[in-house]
Amino acid sequence: MKTKFSIKYIVAIFATILITGCDRDDFAEKNTNPDALLSIPPEYEFTAAVLGIHNNSFEYYYDYNRAIYYWAQTFVTATGNSSTVYEGSGNLNNRRSNFYASVGNKLVDVQQLIDKLPEDRKARYVHLKAIAGIPLAYYAWHTSDVNGSMPYSEAFKARYTIPALLTPKYDTQEALYDILDAELKAIVSVLKAEQPVGQTVIGTNDIYYGGDPTKWIKAANSLRLKIAFRLMKRKPERLKAIATEVLADNVGLISSTDEDWKLLGGPSLATSDGNYNPSSNSTVSGLKNTVDFMWTTKDPRIRIFYQPSFFNKRRFDLAQAQGKIPATMVWDGQLYRGQYADPDAVQDQTKTIFFQNITIKSAGVDSSGRLPSNVQSRLFQGNFNSGSGRTTFPIITYADVCFMRAELAARGIAGSDAEGWYYKGIDASLENYDEMGMNSKLDNYSALTAAEVATYKAQPGVKYEAANALEQIIVQQYLNFFKNQNEAWAIIKRTGFPSVNGKILKLERVNQGGTEQVMPRRFSISFPSLTDINYENAKAAIEEQQKNPDFSVPGDITGRVWWDVK
């Protein structure tokens, strides 16, 4: 377990202890007495809440860097995956505790702080109260996405109810989706309504949009659409109804990269404890098929995602002359290479060169490296290796919206011009990653050019083809989610693409001793202990979910939550 903390992280933990308490009596006091909430401006609590979405480094270390990245085959250990790659660790599911302890509770406190203001001041916080509900809905959905049923409608009420509500019910995922959609729709109406008094300017306390209500309306509409896509198999008509409604909204969806819902953090946000770095546990590369696809199609993002391979032509020739590389291999000019995801691939004699650390001698000096490229660690942790770059944390971007609109049109669900939205999505994604490359201060980074973008969109497999349009759209979504791995994993679960049988981009079959393994689809759900104060509700929620045979037993990470239909 990673235990090294930055000073900022220690201060954050100390502040959390001060606010929430650390012993049982103090916990009860702080969570049942509304007067115990510190009298701070609501906008300050809003900042703390939304920062909590991004500064939980354990979520990045355990949930992403040791599980989801590998399950979605975005990353592969540079030395080859172990046979336990689909098992995960016992420290998974940090997002659940983070929602209740650092994000959801604070966002509800924002709303409660506003409700307790004198009427004249309260009238100036109508927008902030509404806006707080948008990241609250997002992170609740993000938490439920891999957990299923969870307390939401009755959560966070202990401090504000008499008697204190300490046993909140669990909302089913189906019910939660309806609740979140209704809340987001109502929030949009509030933000559109003309207010009789000027609203408090929250400025930099809103780390995403500076308090701009129009941008938040677009973010809320885009989140409604994003959540609705999870209903594609369960409730297709509901997806269609929500999509039709948000596409017809007079303010609409996120409509440019300037309106992206993202955080551009400073060098200290992705802390020096290394947890944000995907290579913090072991050096990682990309999936061989993905890197090959990006190289073949001249995808400009390849230099943003990966570092060049250790082997260029000079080193290849030296290694071959020194007997380190088989004489039968021919230099093909490829400067970026991926690794095989299948743990059994190491046993294939034709692939052994990918699993070797090769030492070569040049001018009497030894140097060594591997064929697979390393992932650009600084893209995920701007201060990696003494860097001073900034780290981007995307939630929903214009590229996401474009690809969702392309998919809606391609499936005949809502809207039109799948081809146009597909190309707009590619343009927006390339623009986003170009900015990330510069902001992260990648070594020797060169900005994308218009010629590169045009060349890429003309390549086979990228150039729009009606016969393969749906797979092309989804593959581009998958590539775009390189920095949003919950969504990369989710799109495989939702659509089946990329697929081991794909025409555009193939995933690999993952084997363990010759037996094909099943990709994990959710996190392990702990059965409550008898001493859990909310034991009965937690137990009932598990029993309800188990009525779906695909859910399996609570600890089975290959089981499926409600939205994830075969």
Q: Where are the domains of the chain?
A: 7-252, 308-369, 377-516
Whether the Cβ atoms of residue 398 and residue 421 lie closer than 8 Å to each other = no
- State how far the Cα of 433 lies from the Cα of 376, in Å rounded to an integer: 12
What is the structure's pLDDT at 330? 95
What are the C-alpha distances in Å from 19 to residues 37, 38, 39, 70, 106? Answer: 8, 8, 11, 36, 10
Residue 362, beta-bridge partner list: 365
Q: For 7-252, CATH number?
A: 1.25.40.390
- DSSP string of 224-243? HHHHHHTTTTT-HHHHHHHH
Both tokens assigned to 211: 């308090």
What is the structure's pLDDT at 250? 98
What pTM was computed for the model?
A: 0.93
The CATH class of the 377-516 domain is mainly alpha
Count how many residues are written for the chain.
Answer: 566
| DSSP letter, residue 355 | G
Q: Which residues contact 302 (CB under 8 A, 6 or more apart)?
A: 291, 294, 295, 336
What is the structure's pLDDT at 29? 39
What is the structure's pLDDT at 536? 98
SS3 425: helix
* Number of continuous H segments (helices) and E segments (strands) in the chain: 21, 8
Both tokens assigned to 29: 């006091």
- Residuewise pLDDT in 10s, the chain (566 residues): 343 333 233 333 323 322 333 333 333 334 445 555 557 899 999 999 999 999 999 999 999 999 999 999 999 999 999 999 999 878 999 999 999 999 999 999 999 999 999 999 999 999 999 999 999 999 999 999 999 999 999 999 999 999 999 999 999 999 999 999 999 999 999 999 999 999 999 999 999 999 999 999 999 999 999 999 999 999 999 999 999 999 999 999 999 999 999 999 988 776 657 899 999 888 999 999 999 999 999 999 999 999 999 999 999 999 999 999 999 999 999 999 999 999 999 999 999 999 999 999 999 999 999 999 999 999 999 989 889 999 999 999 999 999 999 999 999 999 999 999 999 999 999 999 999 999 999 999 999 999 999 999 999 999 999 999 999 999 999 999 999 999 999 999 999 999 999 999 999 999 999 999 999 999 999 999 999 999 999 999 999 999 999 999 999 999 999 999 99
What is the structure's pLDDT at 33? 53
What is the structure's pLDDT at 142? 98
Q: Which of 76, 134, 36 is nearest to 345 (CA)?
A: 76
Task: Classify burial at 125, counting beta carbons within 10 Å of its beta carbon; exposed 0-12, middle 13-18, buried 19 or more.
Answer: buried
Region of 386 please: left (phi>0), alpha (psi -120 to 50) or beta.
left
What is the structure's pLDDT at 34? 54
- State how far the Cα of 339 lies from the Cα of 289, in Å rounded to an integer: 8
Encoded amino acid at 235, one letter: K
| N-term to C-term CA, the chain | 35
- State how far the Cα of 42 lies from the Cα of 38, in Å rounded to an integer: 10
Neighbour tally for 462: CB within 10 Å: 22
SS3 260: coil
Residue 361, beta-bridge partner list: 366
Both tokens assigned to 143: 């938490």
Encoded amino acid at 234, one letter: R
What is the structure's pLDDT at 271? 61
What is the structure's pLDDT at 35? 56
